[in-house]
Each structure stands twice: as structure tokens, then as C-alpha cells.
Structure 1
Amino acid sequence: MKLVRYGTAGKEKPGMIDRAGVLRDLSSVVADIDSQTLVSEALAKLAKIDPRQLPQVDGHPRYGTPVARVGKMICVGMNYAEHAAETNAPVPQMPVLFMKATSAIMGPNDDVVIPQGSTKTDWEVELGVVIGDTARSVSVEDALSHVAGYLVVNDLSERDFQFEHGGQWVKGKSCDTFGPLGPWLVTRDEVPDPQNLGLWLEVNGHRYQNGHTRTMIFGVAQLVSHISRYMTLQPGDVISTGTPAGVGLGQKPPIYLRAGDVIELGIEGLGQQRQTVHAHPADGNAA
């Protein structure tokens, strides 16, 4: 299944994309795509629905984040060896974890706003993992059974804030609009192997990232197991699994986002995002 939330920001409705690519309204079935909807039992009930019996949504409504009220967003740093190399970081011996504030989360095609005073806003295409059933100290072998599905993440980052503002990556990762998710959540049954997905990102039509999840240092099952050792993963939590090489910081010389830039990114089978970059109003010259 492809589950979505559509409509104006803050008033999104639950939906489903049928096999013909048509948006269907799920409001008569579930109140929202949230923690209650994402557990295995609830998803199994949704899977029995014939989408053709659901109302068709006309037009081209905005897509919001596919998961409502994300409890926590855990990100994995340096999970592709080539990305670690381009940022002059050592290849980690165990997953590097940090948090992104949930206030950064937005829809897949909403505008990105460069933070006030920023000169080093960067892009990162990543595979997102959405937790379905509570995971607490789960084994690698059992880890994927706790996953509801997968989605596209743009883990936007302000590199100066990240590295030069006190040593905590969360400062450079949590700015407003720095967490586009979607366009939809693809349930686990439609992604038989999360380590077999191509992912890419372009800025103004130039492809900077062209990677594959098979080159992750730590795969999805390892990450879910590892993270669940340190914190309970709850339904609706999102894990952003790291980015391949090709970020702006890694260019020679580095290239960063500017007002007017257009970011496009996607993952095989999981859809695409498109964001227009705007300056912060306090900095003027907003696109």
C-alpha cells in the first residue's frame, strides 16, 4: 500500500494511492495515518480494503508528511563510506546517531527556507524507515517485522550550525523545513529488500547524488536493532538511514543552497520530492 496525507497544512486527510496511481480518500476508514494506523494489526485491516471502493480525490492536492505526529526522528550519520570520505570523517565502527527535531518535518513538496544567517545549507537524500510495532532491544533477525514501511527523506543540514556551533549536530539538522518526508509511505510488504533501492538527488537539474542502499555500512535491520537497544522505538517513529556521497559539502569547492534553487530527489519505488528554496524573510531577497 501507498499511504498518504493530503490537503492544506494542518488539515490533512488520510489517503491511499491505488494501483493505477489514483488518490483515494481514507477518511471513512481511519482518522489519520498515525501511530494507531501503523501497527501490524491495523495495516492488515487496511490491506483488505479494495481501493476502488474508496472515494476518488480529484485535482492535485498538496501532500503533507505521510505520518502524522511523528514521535521522534532518529538520524544516522556517515552510513555510506563514500559520504564519510567526502566529509573527511572516519568510517564508523557502530551507527552514529543524532536527533532531528520533529518541528522540522514538512510535506515532500513544501518550500525549504534557508535559516536566518545561513550560508551553508545542504541537501541529503535518505531512505526513511517508519516504525509500526513497538521495538525494544529487538534482534537483527526480527527487526524488519517492526517496520511499517519506508519513505523518502531530505535530511537538510546547515553545515556551519552543525559543526561550528558547539559540537551538537542537532543544531544544524533541526531548522524549520529541514525534514521533508514522503510523498507517501510504502508499506513493508511492497519493499521486499530495503537494501536494494537506488536513490538520487538533483539541484537545478544537476544530479549530485546517485547512490544505492546496498552500499550502506549498517543496513536497515541492523539499525532498527541497534537503536532499539538504546531507546524504545514506537509506532510512527522515523529513522533516517544516512545519505550517499554527493552532498554540497563534498563538492570541490563546496556548493550550498541559495534562494531560487530547486531540489528534486527520489528513491526507487518510493516516489519523488520537489522543493523550491527561499531565503529567510529576515535576510531579505526571498525567492
Structure 2
Amino acid sequence: MAGVEGRVIAVTGAGGGLGREYALLLARSGAKVIVNDLGGARDGSGRGNTAADTVVAQIRDTGGEAVANYDSVATREGGAAVVQTALDTFGRIDGVVANAGILRDRTFHKMPAADWDAVLRVHLDGAFHVIRPAFPHLRDQRHGRIVVVTSTSGIYGNFGQANYAAAKSGLIGLIRTLAIEGRRHNILANAIAPLAATRMTEDIASAEVLEKLPPAHVAPVVGYLLTDESTETGSVLVAAGGNVHRVAQFQTRGVTFPEVPTIDQVAHRWREIVDLDGALPGTSPLA
């Protein structure tokens, strides 16, 4: 196979916004798409079939292959049902785009536990709930592509988004580990941090800024990461308004203390510890 042609790819939260763009592009490129969407509001409330059904109809009207799934990825059963829909309809699963998400923004000192839990359940747990049942199939066929949707909030932080940032940062740790575990099975895992004009960002940036961030700019990057030709794995890519760049971690040269230091000794050498001059790509001390 070449590109994504003939591949079966599940896209969560594909009833609108960026997820819809991913699903439509993948279908135009020859993939068979599971269009998952709960059909709820931006904060996760409510549900309905219209969003997913509309995208499936658009794909089929242009000669593509797609099937709708309305399960919530916030539960293990819902995530498993997304994968099962792929198996029941197309007989296999080749890729997952963990895109489903909600927003419940609030400053940390005012954030109720319910808002923390709800956001992590959809973004972080939701990715696990779909990827975990897909993973054995990807291993058995020695081929798989995984893309999780992170955020610049998860990379850099953002005011009023402690829950969202924590979930999105967790997804980066997830794909880095999946990249390590999946390497010998030809399973590649990456993260995309998109900036685009969708209902998730409609009141976060000005209309002037959002005008420069059409969702269509992001989809080809996600599409490439799902292709047979892609060899990228364990990477975080930011895509916004036509600009695409990779974000990586670096480590300073640091300081080695021959004996357990005192607080004053650490303080004395603090500038050396944090000095980024000559920093190198970060590596795990356990690698």
C-alpha cells in the first residue's frame, strides 16, 4: 500500500472542527474512516448522531468509505466500541487519531474536581480507551499509525487551562512511550499540536487571528503521519496557519556533585545547572 489508501483509520471527535478535516482528507486519500463523535457541546454535555452522520454522508457522497460511531471515548466500553466498529465494518484497524476533546476552562484556584476529571477523562483517558484495544491488532499485523492531538497549552501551559494542559501534556508522554514499545512492530506514534479556528478556539483568540488559522492547514500533517511512508515516531509537531515545526526537549550540560550537596552548594551552582548554552537533545536516564 501507499499513503493511507486502503487503510482503516478511526478518528475520534470527527463530527466537526479539526476532526472533521482529518476524516475528510483521509477519506479523499483512500482511507476507510471510522467517524467517531458523541455529538455533544464543547463542554462535553449532551449528545446526538447528527455530527458524525453528516461527515459520513459527505465522505460517501464523494465516493469515499466511512462509518459513524457515536460512543463516548471517556469510557473503556466506548473506546473499545470505536475499534470494534472498525473490525466489524472493515475487518481491521490500521490507525487511530485521538482527537476528541472538551473544554472546561477556569483558573486553578476556582477549578472544581468535576471539571478536572471530565477533561482528563475525554482527552487523556479517551486516547487510552481507543488506542489500547487497537494496539494488539497493530502489533499482530506489524503495522500501525497513531496520532494524538496535544496542544501548545500542554507544551507551554496556558492561563485558565490547568486541566486541559495536564491532559495534553500527558498525551505527549503517552506517544513517547508508545513510540519506544511500538518501534519493532512498525507502530509509529506522534503528537500534533494544532492551532486552528474551531469552536474550541472561537472565544480564545480574536477573529483577526482565527482568520489566519484555517483547520485545513493542519489536516495534511496528520495525514502524512498516518501514511505507510512516514518514518517519524515519538515526535511533537505544531501546525498553525501553514507553519509546521517540531518541538523537542533539551537538557543542559548540568552539574555533577561528587557528594550529596548542601542547599547552599546547589544554590551556588544554580546558574550552571539551568544554563541552556550548549544544551543537547534530552535523553532518558533509563534508556
TM-score by length of 1: 0.26
Higher helix proportion, which one? Answer: 2
TM-score by length of 2: 0.26
Higher relative contact order (CA 8 A, sep 6+): 1
* Greater Rg by CA: 2
Higher strand proportion, which one? Answer: 1
